[in-house]
Amino acid sequence: MKRDDAYLLDIVLAARKAIRFLESMSWAEFAKSELHQTAVIRPLEIIGQAAGRVSAETQQSHPEIPWQQMIGVRNRLIHECFRIDLKAVWDTVHTDLPALIAQIEPMIPPESEA
């Protein structure tokens, strides 16, 4: 499942990026900054795209990971781009992404094995 390893790494890297983009911002600053909104939404799209490409076997082996939710978020961000709930984006980055990283990181083999 080397391909899955790459998608899992994509998820973790994108999640870390979204968290890093908001680490020194308040909600009020984020709500006013189109630049930061766009910068954070893109990694969320990547997470959903990569989650959708993880094999069914890996997804079934890890039902504790919200695969369909990640894919659904990506679809909403792409297809309903004019109705994005910024508070939900903020909450996802601060609440869901750290937990997601903790779940997925152990599934990624060290670089020497990849």
| 18-to-6, 38, 57 alpha-carbon distances in Å | 18, 10, 27
Angle at 81 between CA 95 and CA 17, to 5 degrees: 40
Look at the chain and count its residues.
Answer: 114
Is-catalytic flag, 79?
yes
Catalytic residue among 53, 79, 83, 94: 79
Catalytic residue among 16, 42, 74, 76: 74
Q: Catalytic annotation on 74?
A: yes
Please list the active-site residues: 74, 79
